[in-house]
């Protein structure tokens, strides 16, 4: 759980490892984890970016969610690769040109050049 001064956002997340890559003698080639997060804008109603006095504002308008799978594999002692597909959902967007759901994909890798 955390709080940011930007838009007075409060957020929290949960991460759970679903699968773990095994060394020799095991048939699990990847590590797989799931992450779920939720954030809430706690600004005063008049300070909200979407504030419109002619429209009723609901508590749910302040919420946003994100979900992500993290799939990683250690190919060798010196090379690791990770893929991270995700989804961000905002309950309220500024206007109809914005999407409520945003898909994303992250890629990360590591190449170990020297031994410690």
The predicted-structure confidence for 31-83, as pLDDT tens digits, reads as follows: 999 999 999 888 777 777 667 777 777 888 889 999 999 999 999 889 999 99
- Does a structural domain hold residue 116? no
- Does a structural domain hold residue 59? yes
- Does a structural domain hold residue 49? yes
- Does a structural domain hold residue 82? yes
Q: Is a pLDDT exceeding 90 seen at residue 115? A: no
Q: How many domains does the chain have?
A: 1
**DSSP character at residue 113:** -
- Does a structural domain hold residue 61? yes
DSSP for 61-77?
GGEEEEEEEEEEEE-SS
Does pTM surpass 0.85? no
Average pLDDT of the residues of the chain: 88
pLDDT at position 1: 80
Distance separating alpha carbons of residues 105 and 83, to the nearest angstrom? 7
Longest distance between any two alpha carbons in the chain, whole Å: 65
Instruction: Tell me which residue range forms the domain holding 20.
Output: 2-111
- Does a structural domain hold residue 63? yes
pLDDT at position 14: 96
């Amino acid at each position: 759980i955390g709080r940011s001064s930007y838009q007075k956002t409060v957020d929290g997340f949960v991460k759970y490892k679903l699968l773990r890559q095994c060394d020799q003698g095991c048939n699990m080639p990847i590590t797989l984890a799931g992450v779920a997060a939720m954030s809430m804008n706690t600004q005063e109603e008049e300070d909200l970016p979407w504030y419109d006095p002619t429209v009723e504002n609901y508590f749910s308008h302040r919420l946003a969610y994100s979900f992500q799978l993290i799939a990683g594999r250690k190919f060798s002692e010196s090379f690791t690769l990770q893929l991270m597909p995700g989804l961000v959902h905002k309950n309220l967007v500024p206007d109809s040109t914005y999407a409520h759901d945003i898909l994303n994909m992250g890629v990360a890798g590591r190449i170990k050049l020297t031994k410690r």
